[in-house]
Amino acid sequence: MGLTTMTATPFLSIFRTTHLKYLLSGFCLSMIPLMSAAQTAELPESENRLEALIQQADSGSTIRIGPGTYNVRELLIEKAVTIDGQNSAVLDIGGEGYGLILKGENITLKNFEIKNSGSGFMDDFAAILIEESNNILIQNLTLTNNFFGVFIAKSENVEVTGNTIISNADRQTTSGNGIHMWYSKDVEVHQNEITGHRDGIYLEFVEGGTMTGNRVYSNIRYGLHFMYSDHCSYIDNEFRDNVSGVAVMYTRNVVMQRNLFVQNWGANRYGLLLKEINDSVVENNRFESNSVGIYSEASNRVQIEQNNFTENGTAIRMMANGVDNRIVRNNFFGNVFEVSTNSRSNPNHYEGNYWSQYEGYDLDRDGIGDVEYRPVRLFSLFAERQPLSLIMLRSLMAGLLDTAERIFPVLTPKNLTDPKPSMEPVQ
């Protein structure tokens, strides 16, 4: 039953025909069951009393907001309610402080816009702050021109799905992260569009986070950035044209599957940066037009399998301080350098990859090259130590050096070979 408003005209009509004492007693008795049993409350157009309506609502109620712009600032929601903007309401924070602060259980926000949070690094101002909460759903919102979009702290079972999160900031000091997760568990981030923030998605001390189907592009630092967040997965996401790509650091048991890493081009830009990652999977991803497809440092037991590396500067830059990584059944198409490293030792395993630069043969027609392949070019070692030498990349001398090194390897890692290179792209 919805909350209703009695207008002046019906009230006077009843007053003229009914004794006053019966009118008042009847009116009061009728309002008691109406308020206690309310399941849906309507906030009409242009009435700025959302806070009062939330305070009056019973646990489990739905509050539907009519069209219009409503001023909100640090509106605290502690009870189990659903707030539905019906795809027409706008909550304006006014450039100061937080928007909505959630501290409770079973709260749903959906179908409205929140804009213009405060900004600054002394406080992590956000359109939505979720703190010490459980079973929260943030769905189909548009978050515009906020410092942080959604800030999740010390919470469990939070789902952020189908939202558009946009910032107009032009540098890191004027923007927080699109979706920020800290010290939380079982957070799901699905089907969001995130652009213009410092990091699109950020995780720190998160366990069991799942990110699928997000489109994260043109962010000021990383599209995805997470640290100390074990047992997380990101699947079927698109990370495009973020200044530094994607960074996964100091973490174990991460699953990275079927993502697109594209157009992260420039100095110190990577499709995917792995730093001190252990016991993880990088599988069935596409790395296209990045300065470096995967940069791996001090990472161990990572399975890099069935990925496509296409027209990157360097497909894989594997530092020798990581061990027991397996690079198997990947496709390398038209990369300048297929693999580069910083040592003559190779503690990792390469096998069954397709290399577009492979010039070997397959006499027994079993689909496997009869000659092992050395993917590290001599010139890549020079470029590793002297980046300015890249201006000689297309020179005749660079080609002669690489040819001589393939025939009589002296400087490149002797055991960094693919003993069974695939003659055809791996399906």
Structure tokens at 129: 């702050």
The pLDDT of residue 27:
32
Angle formed by the axes of helices 396-407 and 378-385, nearest 10°: 120
Secondary structure (3-state) at 24 = helix
The pLDDT of residue 34:
31
Q: Pick the closest to residue 280 from 216, 320, 326, 347 (CA basis).
A: 326
CATH number for the domain formed by residue range(s) 41-168+179-218: 2.160.20.10
User: 241: burial class by Cβ within 10 Å (0-12, 13-18, 19+)?
Assistant: middle
End-to-end CA distance of the chain: 58
The pLDDT of residue 2:
36
The pLDDT of residue 408:
52
Confidence check: pLDDT of 410 > 80:
no
The pLDDT of residue 39:
60
The tens digit of pLDDT for each residue in 90-118 reads 999 999 999 999 999 999 999 999 999 99
The tens digit of pLDDT for each residue in 333-380 reads 999 999 998 887 899 999 999 999 999 999 999 999 999 999 987 655
The tens digit of pLDDT for each residue in 190-243 reads 999 999 999 999 999 999 999 999 999 999 999 999 999 999 999 999 999 998
Q: Pick the closest to residue 338 from 366, 357, 365, 322 (CA basis).
A: 357
**Domain spans in the chain, listed from the N-terminal domain onward:** 41-168+179-218
Lowest mean pLDDT among 166-180, 252-266, 270-284: 166-180
The pLDDT of residue 386:
52
The tens digit of pLDDT for each residue in 26-79 reads 333 333 333 333 467 666 654 568 888 898 999 999 999 989 999 999 999 999
- Report which DSSP code applies to 36: H
Confidence check: pLDDT of 143 > 90:
yes
The tens digit of pLDDT for each residue in 264-292 reads 887 778 999 999 999 999 999 999 999 99
Decide: 141 and 113 in contact? Cβ < 8 Å.
Answer: yes
